[in-house]
Structures are given as C-alpha cells and as structure tokens.
Chain A
Amino acid sequence: MSLHAQDDPALRAAQEERLRAVWKAPQGIFLRWTDCNNNRVGAWYTLTAFGFMLFAGVLALIMRTQLAVPDNDLVSANSFNQLFTLHGSMMMFLFAVPMFEAVSIILLPQLLGARDLPFPRLSAFGYWSFLIGGIFVGGSIFFNAAPDGGWFMYPPLTTRTDLSGLGADIWMLGLSFIEVSSVAAAVELIVGVLKCRPPGMRLNLMPLYAWYILVVAVMILFAFPPLIAGDILFEMERLLNWPFFDVTRGGDPLLWQHLFWIFGHPEVYIVFLPSIALFAMMIPTFAQRHLLGYPWIVLAAVGTAFLSFGLWVHHMFATGLPKISLAFFSAASEAVAIPTGIQIFAFIATLWAGKVKWSTPLLYASGSLAIFVIGGLTGVMVAIAPFDWQAHDTYFVVAHLHYVLIGGTLLPLFGGLYYYWPLITGKKLSDKLGRTAFWMLFVGANLTFFPMHFSGLYGMPRRVFTYPSELGIDYLNLASTMGAYLFALGTLVVCIDLARSPWRPKAVRNPWHAGTLEWLAHPDDEDWGIRSVPLIESRYPIWDQKDFVKKVDEGRFFLPDAEEGRRETIVTTVLDARPLYVVRLGTPSWVPMLTAIALGSVFILTTYHLYWWSLAGAVATLGFVLYWLWTGTAEIPEKPSKPIGHGIELPLYVSGSAAPGWWAMFITMMADATAFSGLVFGYYFFWTVHPEFPPSGPGMDGPGTFWPMVSLGVALLSWGATVGARGTNRRGGVGVARALLVVGIVASLAGIWTGLQGPLTTGLDPELHSYPAIVWTLVIWTTAHAGVGAIMQAYALARSIAGRMTPTHDADIRNITVYQHFMALTAIVTYATIGLFPGVA
C-alpha cells in the first residue's frame, strides 16, 4: 500500500468499515460481558477497583468514628479487628495493585500505538478473577467472617484454628486467587511493553509510563510469588496441620514474616511507581516541554525496583534479628531515598524549565508530592532501627504509611483521573469541583494523619479498638476523625463530578495539548484502538512529527486495514522496535470468564474444606484452559505473510523468542521459579534456626539419597526428550519427535511416582516437625510440576497429530520446552537439596 493509495477517500472509508466490523464489540445483556477489548476490560477493571476503594474507605470511616472519643463502644473489639484487617487488605490487594493494572490495560495500547495488548483474553481472565476474588474477600465482613489478624496476618495468631476462624482462610485463598490475576496482568504488560511498540519506538523513545510499567510488572513477578509460597505453607498448616510456623514442632513464625515482607515491601513501590508514572506523563504536558533527565527517570525506576527488594526486614526491626542484619536493611532503606529523590527533582526541574499551565491535574500532582515527601521523610526516620524500636506498632507508623500511600498512590491517581478522563470518555471533568475536592482531600489527609504522628509518639498502639482518656490523646484522635470525614467528603465530591459526566458535552480532541501518543484518541472513539500504527521518531510525536495526527487518521502509516477480517497488531523487536510480525489477537469469548469462575471455585471451595468439589473445579479449570489454548493460540495462518503498508511484508506466524507466547511462558516461569525459591528459602531457613538439621528420630529420617537421585535422573530424561523433540521436529523428523514426546510423557509421569517414593518409603511424617513438612512440600511442588509437564507434552503431541503443529509452525513445542528448562532446574534444586544437603549439613 503506497502513500498514494491512502489519498483515496473511498478506500479509506472501506478500510474503516472493515476495521469497524472486526473490532465491533459484542452486544446484548449477556454477550457484552464476553468482550476482551482493552478499552472495555480496562474500564470494568478501573470501576471495580474504584468501588473496592470506596468500600474499604467506608470501613476506615467506621474505625475513625469508633476512635473519635475515648472508651467508645460503637463497634466491638472483634468487629474492629475485622475492619482494620479488611481495610488494609482491600486497599492493597483490591485497590492499589489492580488499579495500576486496570489503568495500564486502558492506557498502554494507546501509549504504544497498538490496537490492543498481545493477550486480550488474558486481560479479561484477570479481570474476572479479580472480581470474583474481590467479592469473596470483601463480602466476608457481612457474614462476620472477615479476616481479623491484620493485613499481614502474622502467625501463630492466624494459623491456630482455635484463635482465628474462617477469615484467615478467606484471606489466604481469596487473595492467592487475586495474586494469580496480578501475575497474569504482569505477563500481559511486560510482553506488551517489550513486543508491541510501534515501529521506530526504540527503548530511548518509549513513553516513561511504559518504562515504569515494565519495571513494576517485573517487580510483581519477583514480589508476589514469595507471598504465594507463604500462602501455600500457611494453608498447609491450617488445613493439614503441617507445622511450618509452630515453634513447638520446629516451625518458626518469622519465616512467614520474611516471606510476607519480601512481597510486602516491594509492594509499596509496586503501587507507588505507577502513580509517579502518571506524573511523568502529566508534567511535560503542563510544562509544555520535553521532560528533563529522561535517563535519570529510568535510573530512578530501575534503581528503586532493585533496592526495594533489600528493604523487607525493616518491617521486622523489632523481632530480635542480629543487629548486623538490621543494619544491612537499614542501609538499603536509606539508599532507596536516592532514586526516589532524583525523580522528584527531575519533575521539579521540568516544571521550572517550562511554562507551567496550572491545571487541576497538576494541582493534584503537586499536592500529592508534598504529602509524599512528608511520608518519605518519616520513612527515613523509621528506617533507622533505634528510632523504629520506639515507633514500631504505634500510630506513628500508621501516619507514615498513610502519608506515603495517599501522597504516592491515591492523590496521583485522582490527578490521573482528571487528566485522562477526556481520553477515556471524551469529556472533561469539572475544574471547579476538582479543585474543591482537591483542597478537601489535601486538608483532610493532613488533618487525619499529621496528628497520628503525635498520638503514636505519646504511646498509642496500632490496632487498638479504643483508648483511655488518661493517655492524653483525645484531641489528637478527634482531629484525625474530623480529617477523615473531610477526606471522605472530598472523595464524595469527586464521585459527584464523575456521576455528572454523562450529561456534559464532548471535549475537544487532545484538550491538554499533550505531545504523547495516547492523545491520538478521538472523543468519538472507535473500538479499533488506532487507525494506523505510526512510525515513531520522537518522544513527543504529536508535538514534533509533522502532520502526525493527520497521517495516523488517514491510515498513512502501517496496518491501516483488516482485509482478512481479523483483529491484528504489529509485534516488533525489544530494543529497536523493528517490525517482526503481525499477531492475530483473541476475540470476545466466554472462555476467560468460565476459566476464572472454575479457578475461583477451586480456591473458594477449598476455604470451606469441600475438597472433592474443589478437585472438580480444578479439572474444569484444566479443561477450559486446554480448550482456550487449542482453539485460540498458535493458529496456522491461511497465508504465510501479509503487507502492512510502505512495501513491508510481515509474517503471520513466528515461534521461539520472537513470539509473544514464548515470552509469556518465559515470564510466567520466572514467577513460578520465584515462588519455588520461596519454598527453598524455607528449607534453608529451618536449617539456620535448628542446631540439629535435619533432626533425627522416627518419622524424621528421610528422604534418603536414592529416590531423590532417581527422580532427578527421570526429570532430566523428560527434559532431554522434549529438547530432542523440538530439534527433530524442526528438522522435519515429525515421527521421531512424536516418539520423543511419548518418552517425555512417560518420564514425567514416572517422575511423580519416584519423587513421592523418597518421603513415602522413609516414612517422613509431615505433621511431626517442620523438617518432614518442608521436604514433603518441595516434593509435592516438584511432582505437581512434573504432572503439568506431562500435560504439556501430551498437548504438543496432540497438536502434532492433529496437524496444528508442524516443523515450520512449532510454537507449541518451543513454548513447552521453556517450561521443561525451568522444570529441570526445579528438579535439580529440589532433589539436590532434599537428597544431598542432609549429608553436607
């Protein structure tokens, strides 16, 4: 398609007609929920997360009302426990993290000039999982069954079934389910940023929002899995009486604290960085100039991501760990202030160097920076261990964390709401209401949380449901409560502003005169995302590239048509965004929703100990996933390639590391390996806490060396067979490849049997002591992975026999080989640990 052809209005209209038909959203009361277009799923996601935020906010208001006066009896101690636990858990797991994913699902394709993210159905699956898990966890409070152990759920209070009820299981299993959807979103966002950028958008031209999202999504991969590992141990203890955290049987509650905070501290940055990313988009717009110090911002994002993993013990300063360990974490906690400060200075410098337009979003941005800086400074204080010993578990910490989260997450999101509302709805929000709300929120937040520094220093502990008047903190608490109500009113004003939006007129296109790609969006938007995928030559193409908007609109760039009636977008290379191939995207379907329901049932039914039903749910989940993969992935196209304009012809099928599916597998397995390393950490942690490890005695001598080594050999055989099958298949030896896959399947299944023989034949009793329990856990993890490996090998075999996988179209086998690489690594670590380490120790 030459430039010339696009001069023809009739051709353009015909192209638009085809695009419109292909991207048409499903209609009808029921069918509309099968949609998977990022605009719609992102909007549902955002609204749901916003709803959970309001709900959790109301919980906080009830708490503040209870604490308004001393010796109040509005709610009981038990209800109060549920209130603060659910408030914290919902704000973190059901608002802050999902909100970042939701906003990114809406914005990212627009920022990257893509028609959609690479796995639209995965986004839909993530959304439905989030909704189901969120209602399950949040709704528990109406049945007086909400978790009540605090948002970090410390054992032994929460693992002893005589001290805590169903709430603890609801927290563990409900939120584990949501963690699955977070990891799914992380996969989607990483592959989106790395592979779906428009041609020419090299890494140095990527919008900073995309840099932040890449960094945060990678952080999720390494932060969430340790918590999943912790959840597994936790539920093993609650449901099966395996004593990981029970000191009387060789467990240690500190193991939970480690696993929780390895997740919990990066989590703070996971919710903070995406909000800062919104600033990085807003500030150049309102300064009307390029952002200063682009590489410095990248430094800040990447540097913060790394350092944030060296902070977790600063939540455990009061647990009696050696001072030297505390000092390491204290040092890292101080170091993280450096990159955080750098990005704030880059923003201030940009505003200083530009001509500032004082808009409502910028008001939110600057106000939240002020609040965040106060939270950051108290953070530097509590990062110093001796000060922390004084302030630990007091309202000082409550003040600190709310300053950080309100200044670093909530208010920036409100700013982003005012900034991006025209992009999503085509209408501007009211400046008057927005500014009124801002001042109510700003004053409200300070009035609520500033006095808490003092009530904390006067000795008010966290999480008490009331306090005596003699403590002398009545007025401080009353001020906090008044502030909370003012803050709630401010939120109400924002809600009113949003509710009035449908009756407002459409705004002009790009109302803030921004320079970045997402503002190509038209107020009367079409579902196709972008009319043609542009060639990018600048960080601010709308400002810098001549006739940019017009060329995009007239389809003068790439992929202006949908000749074959398929949803498509361009996949490019990671570093330099050179066009690689055209990917066909998933279309609306019931499968993501049904898969989410089936998987949700596994977690929810397990909570109520309905194990057989939950097993049925697991089988259904497997069935849906296989159907989804079989019908919706690695499809052999009707022709090898297609033109995308300007004389470029791109293939319609690639496999291996060029393909998004390969990356998704690789990234998922990174998360899986991280969860596994959490369990392995548990094993070696027990080694450090026990003078004699492994312990001796009946039920504890095992699993020996023989069976672990046999299992390792079998696992490596399965790995070798799969790698061999991949190679021979590519060289055309389809028959040999199938035979090798059969060998792989047999080896994987044998690996399950041999793996279990070690602990079984030596009679390891997992209820006796933490040592047999952790050995059993590692073995079960590894053999379960062998089982999944067998299913994958059988899947590849079936695809080959059905003619859906050939020597030239081999994505399936290349993807399962990635799994086998990780499986082999898992087997090596597990069997070397349980089989050989006892001899060394």
Chain B
Amino acid sequence: MKRGFHGMVARLKVTLWSLIVPPTVWAVHFLFSYLWAAIHCAKVGGFPRLPILYAVGTVAALAIILAAGIVAHLQSRVPGDPAPHEESTDSDRIRFLAFSTVLLAALSFVGVVFTAAPVLFLTDCR
C-alpha cells in the first residue's frame, strides 16, 4: 500500500501550478469566509450559533492543504544529486519546487487557522 502511495505521488508532477495549490486554497477559503459572513449578515440577519457549513468548509480547506503538503514533502525527498541541491538537474528542480510547496502549505495552514479563529469567538453580526 505504501509503495503504491509513493508510486502515485511520484507520478504527480511538480510545477508552478502545483506550487500555488496551498495558497490558492487559502484564498478560496478566505473568499468563502468573507462571503459566508457577508451573505449571512446581510441576507439572513445573523449567522448560526453552530456554523456547520463553515466548519465543513474550513476542515476541507485544511485537509487539502495538508494533503498538498504531504505529497510535496514526499516529492521533495526525490533521491538524486548531493546536497545542497542547487544544480541544474531534474531532481534538484523537483526538490526545490516541492520544498517550496511544503513551506507554502505550512503558511497557508496557519493562514486558514487564523482566518477561521474569529468564528469561534464572535457570535453575531454587530
């Protein structure tokens, strides 16, 4: 199973598009948060005390970021050239993009947690 998973990860490409998956998820979650609050406050007149939709959206965002981070982490360990991995080779380019994706996933994870935190504390639209 593990080999299968690793094999699947290895076949995924590392590109500029995959690099921006985690921050894009942050951005979508941020927009979702803003719209969720704006529409509830303007159209419903207040948001629910147990915001299930919001919780599901947030957990989904965190899960995607986590998955992107784990995949990138595995990709960043592509064996190949010696450290410090600054050569003009396929493996160093993959390692670089994958490691940068891991870092962005970490930042995006924190970003989503930051964004979601106020919903735990604020309970009305004032």
A531 at the interface (CB under 8 A from B): no
Bits for A303-322, please: 1 = Cβ < 8 Å to B, else 0.
10111011000000000001
Is A335 a contact partner of B111 (Cβ separation < 8 A)? yes
Interface residues of A in 290-311 (CB under 8 A from B): 290, 294-296, 298-299, 302-303, 305-307, 309-310
Number of A-B contacts (CB under 8 A): 122
Is B107 a contact partner of A338 (Cβ separation < 8 A)? yes
A246 at the interface (CB under 8 A from B): no
A574 at the interface (CB under 8 A from B): yes
Output the least CB separation between B84 and chain A (Å): 8
Interface residues of B in 88-126 (CB under 8 A from A): 88, 90, 92-93, 95-97, 99-100, 103-104, 107-108, 110-111, 114-115, 117-119, 121-122, 125-126
Is B110 a contact partner of A322 (Cβ separation < 8 A)? no
Interface residues of B in 68-94 (CB under 8 A from A): 85-88, 90, 92-93
Bits for A335-374, please: 1 = Cβ < 8 Å to B, else 0.
1001100000000000000000000000000000000000
B42 at the interface (CB under 8 A from A): yes
Is A328 a contact partner of B87 (Cβ separation < 8 A)? no
In Å, the complex CA distance between A303 and B47 comes to: 30
Is B115 a contact partner of A536 (Cβ separation < 8 A)? no
Output the least CB separation between A334 and chain B (Å): 7
In Å, the complex CA distance between A273 and B32 comes to: 27
In Å, the complex CA distance between A203 and B90 comes to: 10
Output the least CB separation between A32 and chain B (Å): 39
A787 at the interface (CB under 8 A from B): no
A202 at the interface (CB under 8 A from B): yes
Q: How many residues of A contact B (CB 8 A)?
A: 41
A54 at the interface (CB under 8 A from B): no
**Given A294-B96, A322-B37, A688-B43, are A303 and B118 neighbors across the interface (CB < 8 Å)?**
no
In Å, the complex CA distance between A158 and B73 comes to: 52
In Å, the complex CA distance between A39 and B97 comes to: 32
Bits for A728-759, please: 1 = Cβ < 8 Å to B, else 0.
00000000000000000000000000000000
**Given A203-B97, A295-B100, A310-B27, are A323 and B115 neighbors across the interface (CB < 8 Å)?**
no
Is A201 a contact partner of B88 (Cβ separation < 8 A)? yes
Is B87 a contact partner of A203 (Cβ separation < 8 A)? no
In this complex, which of B15, B39, B99 has the most chain A Cβ atoms within 10 angstroms of its Cβ?
A: B99
In Å, the complex CA distance between A580 and B66 comes to: 36
Is A307 a contact partner of B111 (Cβ separation < 8 A)? yes
Q: For B103, what are the chain A residues with a Cβ–Cβ distance below 8 Å?
A: 295-296, 299, 303
**Given A295-B99, A295-B103, A310-B27, are A324 and B122 neighbors across the interface (CB < 8 Å)?**
yes
Q: For B43, what are the chain A residues with a Cβ–Cβ distance below 8 Å?
A: 688
In Å, the complex CA distance between A327 and B23 comes to: 19
Is A324 a contact partner of B37 (Cβ separation < 8 A)? yes
Output the least CB separation between A304 and chain B (Å): 10
In Å, the complex CA distance between A745 and B110 comes to: 50
Residue of B nearest to A214 (CB): B16
Is A325 a contact partner of B34 (Cβ separation < 8 A)? yes
In Å, the complex CA distance between A295 and B5 comes to: 26
Is B104 a contact partner of A303 (Cβ separation < 8 A)? yes
Is B97 a contact partner of A328 (Cβ separation < 8 A)? no
B9 at the interface (CB under 8 A from A): no
Q: Helix, strand, loop or mixed for chain B's interface?
A: helix
How many B residues are at the interface, by size bracket? 35 or more
A589 at the interface (CB under 8 A from B): no
Is B38 a contact partner of A325 (Cβ separation < 8 A)? yes
Is B90 a contact partner of A576 (Cβ separation < 8 A)? yes
In this complex, which of A290, A303, A689 has the most chain B Cβ atoms within 10 angstroms of its Cβ?
A: A303
**Given A303-B104, A307-B111, are A202 and B93 neighbors across the interface (CB < 8 Å)?**
yes
Q: For A338, what are the chain B residues with a Cβ–Cβ distance below 8 Å?
A: 107, 110
**Given A203-B96, A335-B110, are A575 and B16 neighbors across the interface (CB < 8 Å)?**
yes
Is A538 a contact partner of B86 (Cβ separation < 8 A)? yes
Is A302 a contact partner of B23 (Cβ separation < 8 A)? yes
Is A575 a contact partner of B37 (Cβ separation < 8 A)? no
A5 at the interface (CB under 8 A from B): no
Residue of A nearest to B43 (CB): A688
**Given A299-B107, A324-B125, A327-B122, are A332 and B114 neighbors across the interface (CB < 8 Å)?**
yes
Residue of B nearest to A575 (CB): B15
Bits for A522-563, please: 1 = Cβ < 8 Å to B, else 0.
000000000000001111000000000000000000000000
In-complex Cβ contact of A324 among B47, B90, B97, B114 (8 A): B47
In Å, the complex CA distance between A575 and B90 comes to: 10
In Å, the complex CA distance between A151 and B107 comes to: 33
Q: For B122, what are the chain A residues with a Cβ–Cβ distance below 8 Å?
A: 323-324, 327
Is B114 a contact partner of A322 (Cβ separation < 8 A)? no
Is A537 a contact partner of B16 (Cβ separation < 8 A)? no
Is B126 a contact partner of A322 (Cβ separation < 8 A)? yes
A204 at the interface (CB under 8 A from B): yes
A205 at the interface (CB under 8 A from B): yes
Output the least CB separation between B38 and chain A (Å): 6
In this complex, which of B24, B41, B119 has the most chain A Cβ atoms within 10 angstroms of its Cβ?
A: B41
In Å, the complex CA distance between A327 and B104 comes to: 23
Is B27 a contact partner of A309 (Cβ separation < 8 A)? yes
Output the least CB separation between A332 and chain B (Å): 6
Residue of A nearest to B33 (CB): A328
In-complex Cβ contact of B115 among A203, A303, A328, A688 (8 A): A328
Output the least CB separation between B98 and chain A (Å): 9
Is B23 a contact partner of A306 (Cβ separation < 8 A)? yes
Q: For A688, what are the chain B residues with a Cβ–Cβ distance below 8 Å?
A: 38-39, 42-43
Output the least CB separation between B72 and chain A (Å): 11
Interface residues of A in 564-584 (CB under 8 A from B): 574-576
In Å, the complex CA distance between A537 and B99 comes to: 20
In Å, the complex CA distance between A295 and B24 comes to: 18
A-B contact pairs, 25 of them (CB 8 A): A200-B88, A202-B88, A204-B96, A295-B100, A298-B100, A299-B100, A299-B104, A302-B100, A303-B103, A303-B104, A303-B108, A306-B20, A306-B23, A310-B26, A323-B126, A324-B118, A324-B122, A325-B37, A325-B38, A328-B118, A331-B118, A335-B111, A338-B107, A537-B87, A576-B90
Inter-chain pairs besides A202-B93, A307-B26, A538-B86, 17 sampled, C-beta below 8 Å: A204-B85, A204-B86, A204-B95, A295-B100, A302-B19, A303-B104, A307-B111, A324-B118, A325-B38, A328-B118, A335-B107, A335-B111, A539-B86, A688-B38, A688-B39, A688-B42, A689-B42
Q: List the 3 closest A-B pairs by CB distance, nearest first.
A: A327-B118, A204-B96, A306-B23
